[in-house]
Amino acid sequence: MSCPTALSVLVNPNVLEAENVVKDAISHHKILHIVGKCWVDYLGRAKSKLEPGERILIVKADGSLLVHRSIGYEPVNWMPGGETVFHVLSKTGVLEVHAVRQKPREYVKVFFDRIRLVSALSLVDSGEFALYASEEDMQRVILLRPDLLEPGFRPISYEKKVEPGFVDVYGVDKDDKLVVVEIKRKTAGKEAVLQLARYIDAVRGKAGREVRGVLVAPGIGKDVQRLLATLGLEYKHLDPKKCAEILSQKKSKKLAEFFNETAHFQHP
């Protein structure tokens, strides 16, 4: 069972059979999947009790633990990996999986009294995950990091209503000229340029000072550069993948904070 690529599957095992596979899986950092009737206790900064019912327990290679019910995308109990220590034991027909962390001291204990399925295997996975931001994400990146548009740019507002619609980002440059920013997450065509030109016209009418228009996109189509020049508008390259990376740093922090705050629970 300790062959790294071997797959162990037990259907309706008894507790002792399951215990062997579970111990082997956890000690060899395999992905463990148990389906059965269980109850779950959590104690740490908060406390929870999940009454008996059939659920899925997953323990991943890094010790991350998830308890999933039959519905909902969120786990009912979970614990991050890394510092988690596991204890697996069986007592009077009950298989117990304890996941314990220090700092703060907390544990999740899962008790199975009927096991329908256990599987354990190692996953071979080196594939890259590439994320490309949405236009809203790109907007957020410019608000967070206005120097990515240009040094000295200061956003004033976003989704600002002007006569033909909403300006994505609206601000001033280092020379105090107004700047209207239109964002596209794909290669921008002439339609995007004309949209920006309409916004500029609307703002110019009221502003009484110089207004610049900047089209932000990962690329521009053929002949678009000429149209921009004709209309006195500018283009700034911004890559949705780079935006996603910037936000993912910020978001994983935010997620971590969220999870801290909820003390390892989520609710349907």
Q: Which of residues 124-163 bind a second copy (CB under 8 A)?
A: 124-137
| Structure tokens belonging to residue 44 | 């740490």
| Structure tokens belonging to residue 201 | 């016209």
Residue pair 182/158 in contact by the 8 Å Cβ criterion? no
CA atoms within 13 A on the CB side of 33: 12
Binding-site residue total for a second copy (CB under 8 A)? Answer: 79
Q: Which of residues 174-193 bind a second copy (CB under 8 A)?
A: 185
Residue pair 112/34 in contact by the 8 Å Cβ criterion? yes
Closest contact distance (angstroms) between CB of 97 and a second copy is 15
β-pairing verdict for 31-43 and 8-11: unpaired
Nearer to a second copy, 79 or 215 (CB): 79
Nearer to a second copy, 139 or 202 (CB): 139
Among 119, 162, 172, 198, binds a second copy (CB under 8 A): 119
Closest contact distance (angstroms) between CB of 157 and a second copy is 19
Closest contact distance (angstroms) between CB of 2 and a second copy is 17
Closest contact distance (angstroms) between CB of 217 and a second copy is 14
Q: Which of residues 5-24 bind a second copy (CB under 8 A)?
A: 7, 9, 11-12
3-class SS of residue 255: helix
C-beta pairs of 8-11 under 8 Å, 24+ apart in sequence: 8/118, 8/119, 8/120, 8/121, 9/117, 9/118, 9/119, 10/115, 10/117, 10/118, 10/119, 11/116, 11/117
Per DSSP, which regions of 133-194 are E strands? Answer: 154-162, 165-172, 178-183
Q: How far is Cα 52 from Cα 91, in angstroms, rounded to an integer?
A: 17
Closest contact distance (angstroms) between CB of 119 and a second copy is 6
Q: Which of residues 67-96 bind a second copy (CB under 8 A)?
A: 68-76, 78-81
Among 20, 24, 107, 117, binds a second copy (CB under 8 A): 117
Q: Is 216 in the site for a second copy (CB under 8 A)?
A: no
Among 121, 148, 162, 246, binds a second copy (CB under 8 A): 121
Closest contact distance (angstroms) between CB of 17 and a second copy is 15
Rg for the chain, CA atoms, rounded:
27
Q: Which of residues 35-64 bind a second copy (CB under 8 A)?
A: 35, 37, 39, 44-56, 58, 60-62, 64
